[in-house]
Structure 1
Amino acid sequence: MKQYLWNFLILLDEFGNTLTGGDPGETISSRAGKAMNEGKTWGCVLCRFLNLFQKNHCQLSIDAAEGKRAVIKD
């Protein structure tokens, strides 16, 4: 049951990221961490909030393999 709950929370996280314009399969934390590294205000604010629950949460959550949309070239 514990693994099921964890998987469900990740699903909600990825769904929320997709709804806000992010790539499917990437968590909001990963996207926010990348945004923070680029100096984007929203990423900095969200990561500061998430740090209340886990130190360096966004940095630990960055997934370099996710978040890059495929580019289709003709």
Structure 2
Amino acid sequence: MIRLYIFNILIALDQLLNAILFGDPDETVSSRAAKNLHLWHWNLLGDFLEWIDPGHLKRAIETDEGKNAIFKKGREPP
């Protein structure tokens, strides 16, 4: 039970960070990175996440999220 609680808190913090970075508040940073690997800064984060946890980006991508992002795919800030 405590593991699920901690996991839920970590997901919430992940989504909060994504919202702070002008992303969809219901999407994780990992999902956003997986969708934006064509941009160098997301690719760098993606490489780091894959180094820590191989296959992480493939598991983390949320295709149904991201519609409420301030900066949408392909329109990320420089």
Please tell me the TM-score bracket, short chain as reference. Answer: 0.7 to 0.9
Query: How many pairs does the alignment contain?
Result: 68
**Letter of the aligned partner of 2:36 in structure 1?**
A
**1:56: Cα distance to partner?**
2.5
TM-score, L = length of structure 2: 0.81
Between 1 and 2, higher relative CO (CA 8 Å, sep ≥ 6) is seen in 2
Percentage of identical aligned residues: 38
What does residue range 51-66 of structure 1 map to in structure 2 within 5 Å?
A: 51-66=50-65
Greater than 4 Å deviation, 4+ residue runs: none
Structure 1 gap segments, 5+ residues each? none
Q: Take 1:15 and 1:26, find their aligned partners in 2: how far apart are those partners?
A: 9
Which structure is larger by alpha-carbon Rg, 1 or 2? 1
Please provide the CA RMSD for this pair.
1.3
Give 3-state SS (helix, strand or coil) of 1:52's partner: helix
